[in-house]
Amino acid sequence: MFRRAIIRIQHSLPKLPYPVEQGIPPVISAKQLDLHYNKHHNAYVTKLNGFCAADAKLKSSSLEEIIKATANDASKKPVFNNAAQHFNHSFYWSCLKPNGSAVPTKLENALKASFGSVADFKTKFEASALGNFGSGWTWLVQKQDGKLDIVNTSNAGVPITEPGLTPLLTCDVWEHAYYVDFLNRRDSYLQSFWTIVNWDFVASQLK
């Protein structure tokens, strides 16, 4: 998955680099993480494996191959939704780290070149995520020309279905991502989000 690995069937929940029972301090409580990871994410994986068990072509395809093959096929929408949500959530967990990390220099320079400063990027990202109507995801992506951009996707949407876009960072703005700790206060969740970003992972996705 992502730039250097491919997930194949049997699909499974990724092993988190932090204990579920401790949450992701100081933002995500253990209860929130347990519900999000063990209930919501696990449900997508279970449903995806059910679809794959009934379709030999899906069963022999990687997760990213499944997503790209079903993205524009209305008859395969349930397959796409569950495959994309498995990818999105796995990517989201990788973007997070208890107490966060510092922004590596190469990423800082890329953010400055595209947004003016890291602070300006965060402001624009928060505004985009706050304005992402309904359920969805907000992403920092790298375009084919190397420049960085911010994109919103709705529901299970994922940037890898768009040619030339490489996801670097994502924030889950489905309400199930934050309702235990923040209720319906998406703005508070977004403001706190930066304290748990794993910037080393984000930088590792740069081309």
Least confident of 49-63, 92-106, 140-154, 172-186: 49-63
Total-model pTM: 0.93
Asked if the peptide bond before residue 10 counts as cis, ω within 30 degrees of 0, the response is yes
The CATH number for 170's domain is 3.55.40.20
pLDDT at 52 over 90: yes
Residue 22 pLDDT: 96
pLDDT tens figures, 119-174: 999 999 999 999 999 999 999 999 999 999 999 999 999 999 999 999 999 999 99
State how far Cα 202 lies from the chain centre. Answer: 11
pLDDT at 32 over 50: yes
pLDDT at 202 over 90: yes
Percent share of the chain, pLDDT over 90: 92
User: Domain tally for the chain?
Assistant: 2
Residue 10 pLDDT: 82
Q: How far is the C-alpha of 20 from the C-alpha of 16, rounded, in Å?
A: 8
pLDDT at 103 over 70: yes
Q: For residue 177, is it within any domain?
A: yes
Q: How far is the C-alpha of 202 from the C-alpha of 150, rounded, in Å?
A: 14
DSSP, residue by residue, 177-188: GTHHHHTT-HHH
Percent share of the chain, pLDDT over 70: 96
pLDDT tens figures, 8-20: 448 999 999 999 9
* One domain, residues 122 and 55: no
Tokens of 187: 């703005």
Instruction: Give me the chain's average pLDDT, please.
Output: 94
Tokens of 119: 């602070």
Q: How far is the C-alpha of 107 from the C-alpha of 129, rounded, in Å?
A: 21
Q: Are 135 and 97 in contact (CB under 8 A)?
A: no
Residue 6 pLDDT: 43
Q: For residue 8, is it within any domain?
A: no
Residue 8 pLDDT: 47
Q: How far is the C-alpha of 169 from the C-alpha of 203, rounded, in Å?
A: 9
Q: For residue 5, is it within any domain?
A: no
Residue 203 pLDDT: 98
Q: Which of 94, 113, 147 is the last residue of a domain?
A: 94
What mean pLDDT is predicted for residues 60-89?
96
The CATH number for 73's domain is 1.10.287.990
* One domain, residues 138 and 191: yes
pLDDT at 2 over 70: no
Q: For residue 19, is it within any domain?
A: no
Residue 1 pLDDT: 54
